[in-house]
Structure 1
Amino acid sequence: MNKVIACIDTFNHTAETVCDFAAWSSQQLQAPLLLLHVLEKSDQPAKSNLSGNIGLGTREHLLDELSQLDEQRAKLLKEQGRVMLKEARKRAAEDGIAEAETLQLHGDLIENITELEQDIRLLVMGREGSQEHSTAQIGSHLESVIRTLHRPMLITVGDFKVPERFMIAYDGSETAKKAIQMVASSPLLQGIPCTLLTVGPDTNNLHEQLKEAAGTLEKAGFSVTPVLRAGDVDKVINQCVAELGIDLLVMGAYGHSRIRQFLVGSTTTKLLQHSRIPVLLLR
């Protein structure tokens, strides 16, 4: 569990942002960077009904041609992936990572990431995949990866910017408390001012929860501003992000209470689709 792994599915602006955040994370964590491209078999080999009046010889000839086309296509896609990884490595070098490792795998993205899970300290993925395809693998598989992986994930969006203030969405659950401990013990966000947000009624209980969580972070050297606001979780989070100039949102991937309701099911996708800043999901 010692590598920052960046998923690259095509080399566009999204991939550049993924590379930049992954390189920054690698330097913050002092962990090696691995650039990963998974060549999925999303398009099945060409098939056709070659029965009927077509002779046996003709059918065999057509099948042979289709097989050759599939083989050529596979070679081209593999080479395209190598070129993308080369560009990603060049980008990482420009960001200060002299020896980024590259890896191209074949098969299902989720299965491959799961097999690498023990080596992952942080997984970095773009919110969207290839701009040329509406069903690009990174975008379409993102929620599945979130639900499957038991490692921290940084989901990037927009342009790269070194975070100058981050916000933790805190609900007092065990998952949220664990997230606080993870932030406190990690060098990833050290030195960056933190806003600690809880959404709910103005009660002594919630103030105590905020105080306890803030104390844990402050003992680890963080500058913390506790904030308690009432309202709908998603609206309050978005308002605070805009009002306070937040550059990075941190939250437990699954907790309890209202923030858990906000993250489960299609609302996870809603959060990621509408967020204008990167989201760090912790487990």
Structure 2
Amino acid sequence: MTHVMACIDSSPSSPAVSDYAAWASQRLNAPLTLLHVLDQEKYPASADLSGNIGLGSREHLLEELATLDARRAKLALEHGQHLLEMAQERMIASGAVAPDLKQRHGHLVESLSCLQDDIRLLVIGRVGEDSKQGANSLGSQIEAVVRAIHRPILITASHFKKPGKVMLAFDGSATAHKTVEMLASSTLCTGLSVHIVMVGADSEDNRKELEKARCTLVSSGLKVQAEILTGEVETVLHAYQAEHMIDLLVMGAYGHSRIRQFLVGSTTTTMLRTTALPVLLLR
């Protein structure tokens, strides 16, 4: 069985990542794995300084610098292990089954790519330990992770709130219907209230596509409310989620239409940057 995998670091969002991962694991009945990746650029496994410092009388400086680098990397690994153990304790206290712990020395995207076959759902914070914190911050590696990992990705809010209402952004396309089918086949939203929101013309074709999506979700036992609204996509989605007190936003990660593109300036990226909600990206 594939795992719910949570990326743990020293950022303020890690407790929320732990809590959302524990929640998802229980709903999916999937085992948990906690992953900490020690950045190879910040903490190289070994450093070749021979080109920077002349040998001979300065050889002892080279040896001392290499020793300091090794000690620094070792301390960072120990700190990472401590972060994993704290997250593990937090999850067990919440009632989750004890998660497996993994630690890698390298780059986040490459590490996740190697582990991709073991991932059922990836849970990651909106902002990592090296990213700027702010109301509209989005970590520098999020887009790279979304592009590289062909798995559902839950990008968490800064604080955990148990989801009760879910909003699915829908545009009537074939890819959007695939997103609906993925949501319908999952136990993640069982028992939750699902709102399908389509921003566009209130036309017969759009109503037909929306009703098809609604029926797909209803047939899986979900409680569904479907709406067609007009206006600017981001503005309408934000207003709807505020009015209906939505707890989790679901969107497709890729595509060619405005609602599904994951490129700079797209609706998905804009929503990621501007919403305080956790976002589940499906592809």
Q: Tell me the TM-score normalized by structure 2.
A: 0.91
Moved more, 163-172 or 268-277: 268-277
- Deviation of 1:59 after TM superposition, in Å, equals 2.6
Partner in structure 1 of residue 35 of structure 2: 36
User: Counterparts of 1:98 and 1:218 in 2: how far apart (Å)?
Assistant: 31
1:225 matched to which residue of 2? 225
Please show how residues 80-159 of structure 1 align to structure 2 within 5 Å. 80-130=79-129, 134=132, 139-159=139-159
| 2-structure distance, mates of 1:231, 1:133 | 33
Q: Which residue of 2 aligns with 1:58?
A: 57
Instruction: Encode CA deviations 1:33-55: one digit per residue, 9 max, x unaligned.
Output: 0000011112265958435xxxx
Output the amino acid matched with 1:282.
Answer: L
1:166 and 1:192 in contact (8 A); partners too? yes
* Paired letter, 1:197: V
Equivalent-residue separation in structure 2 for 1:102 and 1:141 (angstroms):
22
Q: Secondary structure at the match of 2:139?
A: helix
Q: 1:133 to 1:264 in 2, by over 3 A?
A: closer
How far residue 108 of structure 1 moved from its aligned partner, in angstroms, is 1.3
Could you tell me whether the CA contact under 8 Å between 1:157 and 1:277 is conserved in 2?
yes
The percentage of counterpart residues that share the same residue type is 46
Alpha-carbon distance in structure 1 between the residues aligned to 2:104 and 2:209: 44
Say whether the 8 Å CA contact 1:46–1:70 is kept in structure 2: no
Amino acid at match of 1:90: E
Mapped pair 1:165 → 2:168: no
1:70 is aligned to: 69
Residue by residue over 1:64-94, the C-alpha shift from the partner in whole angstroms, topping out at 9 and shown as x without a partner, is 1110111100110010001000101011111
Whichever structure has more helix as a proportion of its residues is 1
RMSD, aligned CA: 1.9
TM-score normalised per structure 1: 0.91
* Alignment map for 1:3-22 (pairs within 5 Å): 3-10=3-10, 12-22=11-21
Which residues of structure 1 form unaligned runs of 5+?
none
CA contact (8 A) 1:173 1:255 kept: no
Measure the CA separation in 1 of the matches of 2:5 and 2:264: 25
**How many residues were matched structurally?**
274
